[in-house]
Amino acid sequence: MLSKELVAASTVPLVLSVLAEGESYGYALIQRVRALSGGRIEWTEGMLYPVLHWMEAEGLIESEWREAETGRKRKYYRLVREGREALQTEREQWLTVHQTLIKLWKTLPHLT
Amino acid sequence: MENTTAFDLNNAIRRWRDGLSQSPHFREENLAELEGHLRDSVAELEGRGLTEEEAFLLAASRLGNPAGLASEFAKVNRGQVWLNRLLWMLVGIQVWGLLATVSHLAADAAVLGGLTGLGYRFRQFYPLSVGGVFAAALFGLANLAVLAGGVAGCWWLMRRKETSFHQATVKAMQRPVLVGLALSLLLLVIALAPAAQWALVQKCYAREAAGNIAMARAFSGLVFGPLQTLAFVVLTIMLFRRRLRPGPAS
């Protein structure tokens, strides 16, 4: 299980990355992240929506209400250019942290 | 305990949505989106063999508790929250106007009727007579007492959850615009009442007495004003202390 702080910090890059695969909606986004993380990234599901709305206000994504295959209306989100750029920046930052930690942990063999 | 009433998903979802809509932090669109999510989640959990009721309960708890959701949505719906507050301030001003007008009418009528019944004829006011000062103070105190009584009465009715007044208020709270419009119309009608009351005074009392009544009424503000300010200060302090008291753990 991820800590609360890490969940909060990783939500935006995760959403950007899932939407980079193609447009999606809130419920499917959560399912995708849950499946990829083997259930180790668990969001309080409703909390995703304020983040999506904030990202839309920031101009990273755009949304559209459309009829889904269930016959009900559903709000779809997709990445826009600024979102792709933000994803690039996020990727560099997360990789920096990741690579630094990996290098440090290599010299600490008792950590498994 | 055996469950005698069958679980109705649409009913449960409506109640769940109504619960959320009590908070000003959600837009209608947010609620529609959350409801869509809840329905998707229920459908999937049912597909995994849960009963409709179990699926609903689990899906709702996965979405998060209403207070937590409201505070997260509040961060992205700031403008909406302020609009809502402004709307309620306007409604509050109208409620106050209505309550004040009605209580002034009642208090003035009571004091006039009472003093006249006791044989006081409002013959003199200038130079400041004992009777004139007494009448002015009485008008001021009566106005304040009736107003305070009205506020306390409304508060008491609100607090008693089983009264229809409470239920009506809760229902009205969901439609501030409609309530505001209705109150405006009522204020428009009731604004005529003080004029009618003073026309009646002019008719019933001698010219000089009517003038003295108007004078006593005007001077009553010297008693009413400071006491009203004091009441506001006390009320503000009381409400503020109440707000600072920690609420029940959720």
Distance from C-alpha of A110 to C-alpha of A24, rounded to nearest angstrom: 42
Q: DSSP for B53-86?
A: HHHHHHHHHHH--HHHHHHHHHHH-HHHHHHHHH
Answer whether 0.80 is exceeded by the pTM.
no
Condensed to tens digits (0 to 9), the pLDDT of residues B56-65 reads 999 999 999 9
Residues of chain B with pLDDT under 70: 1-4, 125-128, 243-250
Q: How far is CA A75 from the centre of its chain?
A: 17
Closest alpha carbon within chain A to B20: A46
Question: Quick one: tokens of A84?
Answer: 């792709």
Residues paired with A75 in a beta bridge: A65
Q: What is the pLDDT of residue A15?
A: 96
Paired residues of A77 in beta bridges: A24, A63
Closest residue in B to A69 (Cα) is: B40
**CB–CB of B69/B100 below 8 Å?**
no
pLDDT of residue B244: 64
> Which pLDDT value is given to residue A62?
95
Parse chain A into domains and list their residue ranges.
4-106
For chain B, the average pLDDT equals 85
Those of residues 202-241 in B touching chain A at CB distance below 8 A are none
Q: What is the CATH number of domain A4-106?
A: 1.10.10.10
| Number of cross-chain residue pairs from A and B with Cβ atoms under 8 Å apart | 53
Closest CA to A66 of A78, A55, A49: A78
- Chain B positions in Cβ-Cβ contact with residue A57 (cut-off 8 Å): 76
Distance separating alpha carbons of residues B106 and B150, to the nearest angstrom:
11
Instruction: Give the ipTM of the model, two decimals please.
Output: 0.88
Q: How far A106 CA sits from the closest chain B CA (Å)? A: 38
A32 touches chain B (CB under 8 A): no
Greater model confidence, B179 or A65: A65
Query: Given an 8 Å threshold on Cβ–Cβ distance, is B73 in contact with A49?
Result: yes
